[in-house]
Structure 1
């Protein structure tokens, strides 16, 4: 009987405040969707950082007869002695795990393969435009400055390309997207909490006669509050489920697209997606339940 009474009270509350309940569900769904999207992006960024940190390299381009930099014009193209000295110094550094010398022919072939989908760029270049170089794999990605300083402005060195500079800009973009989503989500969660409190307060006011009768017949405080708490929890659960659909869409239509654009295999596992969805649903239920409880303590005199 008690369970039937609680369920009937929940149904009455939802029906009487249907518009407000729908508004709560929509607000919770949007805020949790943004929160979950921010968490997904954060996990994707972490996976990508780990992936690229193992592959970070520095490319040391050598001077050739066609080099235009002042340093190369003054000192001339790199000699065999220059190459040997640079390679020996790089291999002797503890920050370096591997050094590979790439000839001009190999560099040209690699350029054609990397930009095979950009015909105009390949046609505009010709063999000899890409100088021979050393590709330096770092043992510690954080020590790229030390390696770069060791070969910069040396005889035979034209320029140095550092993957870290490009990746920092890319990750800064993703971090900005993540924090923007989380910031908007926090604002939406605050709005949802206020809306939930207002809905529960109206529900308690509209049922003040029933709660007064329950108090007179000796019902406990918890028993009187339970229908309102469950009403809020159900709204949070429904909003969380809707948010889960948006989180799935974020994974398949945003994060997977980013991988396709940048051609790297760092796919976020479905386990991580389900974890974020689960956390979002739990947060939605807790948010609505706590907001309902705090509102009842203030407005429901029992």
Structure 2
């Protein structure tokens, strides 16, 4: 088939069915946008877990003068003897406890200010509000309860925290976002398929005379099918372009803006993550358009 003939047929088809083609573009854009959102949400979960989830397993926070409402802190700030007793008990839990790092309140506030130096709230935090703590790494994070039960309520210990528990709501939200995006994307993909089928049937009906002539002159199935497939493919790829632009705008102006304002407790996804997701959107648009149009043509356009 000559390229000139294919281009002419596709262009005429787009002109005759502008509204239907535009509908395919818009529905493809929305469905691929939600597919991309789900993929980006999963990348955010994986990135956040890589940054935090597997690095630190537990914190044993010592008492400060402001923890008088905690029974184990009735005496005020943890004494040297109490601090050493906590360290001794942690050492006795090896090999479950693989590493113990002690941070004073001054070191804790310095770490906080360095990590969140761009946050507007840093200036409102002072050393008195940051307790000294033991950073504990475990050989088996699932055995955190042994640490919690052994140190919670111990004299000089304000509370024991598991970073997994701290970040669990954040990960749950991202997982729910990913699932929600997948469900909406699935529904929109179904809408895209139905709209593509309707579009192809309408285009085939408007070209029934040309198709009949092509049959009479012995044109192959591929020759007859290809203009229809090309129209739907162009519309789907245009939807992928728009969806990619929306995803980039969402991440660049939304997520990256949040990170630059100092709101990032974890490293957030950026433009580079969008570039990783975009090829999958185009691949999905290509496969969906070609497979749907080819199957529809074989069913409704007997050659």
TM-score, normalization by structure 1: 0.84
**Gaps in structure 2 of 5+ consecutive residues:** none
Q: Which moved more, 1:251-260 or 1:131-140?
A: 131-140
**What secondary structure is seen at the aligned counterpart in 2 of 1:262?**
coil
List aligned pairs for 1:27-106, cutoff 5 A: 27-63=27-63, 67-73=68-74, 80-92=80-92, 93-103=94-104
> What's the counterpart of residue 279 of structure 1?
280
Count of matched residue positions in the alignment of Structure 1 and Structure 2 = 298
> What's the counterpart of residue 233 of structure 2?
233
Could you tell me how far apart the structure 1 residues matched to 2:184 and 2:209 are? 39
**Gaps in structure 1 of 5+ consecutive residues:** none
Deviation (angstroms), 1:78: 5.2
8 Å CA contact 2:255–2:270 kept in 1: the answer is no
Q: Which moved more, 1:270-279 or 1:199-208?
A: 270-279
Deviation (angstroms), 1:106: 5.2
Deviation (angstroms), 1:256: 1.9
Could you tell me how far apart the structure 2 residues matched to 1:269 and 1:63 are? 39
**What secondary structure is seen at the aligned counterpart in 1 of 2:102?**
strand
> What's the counterpart of residue 254 of structure 2?
254
TM-score, normalization by structure 2: 0.84
**What secondary structure is seen at the aligned counterpart in 1 of 2:69?**
coil
List aligned pairs for 1:205-244, cutoff 5 A: 205-244=205-244
Deviations 1:122-169 (A, max 9, x none): 4xx884x65543232445544433322332233443322332222001
Could you tell me how far apart the structure 1 residues matched to 2:268 and 2:73 are? 43
Change (3 A) 1:199 1:79: same
Could you tell me how far apart the structure 1 residues matched to 2:178 and 2:149 are? 33
8 Å CA contact 1:78–1:156 kept in 2: the answer is yes
Could you tell me how far apart the structure 1 residues matched to 2:283 and 2:243 are? 12
Could you tell me how far apart the structure 2 residues matched to 1:40 and 1:159 are? 35
Deviations 1:8-37 (A, max 9, x none): 221221111110001101110111112112
Cα RMSD of the aligned pairs, angstroms, is 3.0
Q: Which moved more, 1:246-255 or 1:97-106?
A: 97-106
